[in-house]
């Protein structure tokens, strides 16, 4: 049993328990510890990673850096959709393109795909090996490097640091 992975999973479960119950009564906390321990025993293997590259502090700093970037992109995406929907001429020029990613771990690719879906004008259709297939509502460029920069450039470094 990998103790570090087990403890990380346990702490995350316990934080969720505290947030849901929003109470610090002793019986609630004891029950929470028992339940999170039990759940961690069974699930820590699928909910945590083997040997991530960075240590936990660097990963949390990267996560904190990533959240505002993500929220700004999400608000921009909504304004973008609103602009297209309200415009009477419906300015869209959709196409499906392929971009490659340098991220290795499955979690990082999952989060990259999710982030791409929630950012302006793009929807991830499929992930195969190192390629992401993306439905782009307005093809701005046919050059691979520019496409990659526009779509995933902001996220890749940060996600690489988290996972």
Residues within the interface to other proteins (CB under 8 A): 16, 18-20, 22, 74-75, 77-78, 81-82, 84-86, 90, 92-98, 113-114, 117-118, 121-126, 128, 133, 135, 137, 139, 142
Q: State the nearest-atom distance from the C-beta of 90 to other proteins, in Å.
A: 6
Pairing of strands 122-128, 95-100: unpaired
Q: State the nearest-atom distance from the C-beta of 37 to other proteins, in Å.
A: 20
Q: State the nearest-atom distance from the C-beta of 120 to other proteins, in Å.
A: 8
Specify the residue, 1 or 19, whose C-beta has the smaller distance to other proteins: 19
CA angle at residue 110 from 4 to 82, to 5 degrees? 135
What are 29's two structure tokens?
């906390």
What are 128's two structure tokens?
């195969």
Specify the residue, 56 or 74, whose C-beta has the smaller distance to other proteins: 74
Q: State the nearest-atom distance from the C-beta of 23 to other proteins, in Å.
A: 11
Specify the residue, 16 or 42, whose C-beta has the smaller distance to other proteins: 16
Burial of residue 139 (CB within 10 Å: 0-12, 13-18, 19+) is: middle
Give long-range contacts, CB 8 A cutoff, 24+ apart: 51-55.
52/105, 52/163, 54/161
124 - beta bridge partners? 134
Specify the residue, 44 or 136, whose C-beta has the smaller distance to other proteins: 136
Q: State the nearest-atom distance from the C-beta of 85 to other proteins, in Å.
A: 4
């Amino acid at each position: 049993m990998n103790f570090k992975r087990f403890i990380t999973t346990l702490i995350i479960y316990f934080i969720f328990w505290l947030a849901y119950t929003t109470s610090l009564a002793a019986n609630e906390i004891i029950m929470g510890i028992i339940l999170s321990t039990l759940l961690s025993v069974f699930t820590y293997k699928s909910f945590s990673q083997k040997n991530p590259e960075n240590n936990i502090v660097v990963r949390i700093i990267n996560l904190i850096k990533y959240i505002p970037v993500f929220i700004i992109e999400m608000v921009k995406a909504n304004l973008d959709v609103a602009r297209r929907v309200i415009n009477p001429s419906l300015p869209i020029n959709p196409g499906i393109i392929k971009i490659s990613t340098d991220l290795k771990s499955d979690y990082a690719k999952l989060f990259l795909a999710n982030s791409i879906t929630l950012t302006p004008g793009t929807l991830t259709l499929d992930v195969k090996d190192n390629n992401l297939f993306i439905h782009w509502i307005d093809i701005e460029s046919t050059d691979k490097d520019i496409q990659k920069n526009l779509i995933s450039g902001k996220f890749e470094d940060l996600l690489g640091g988290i996972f």
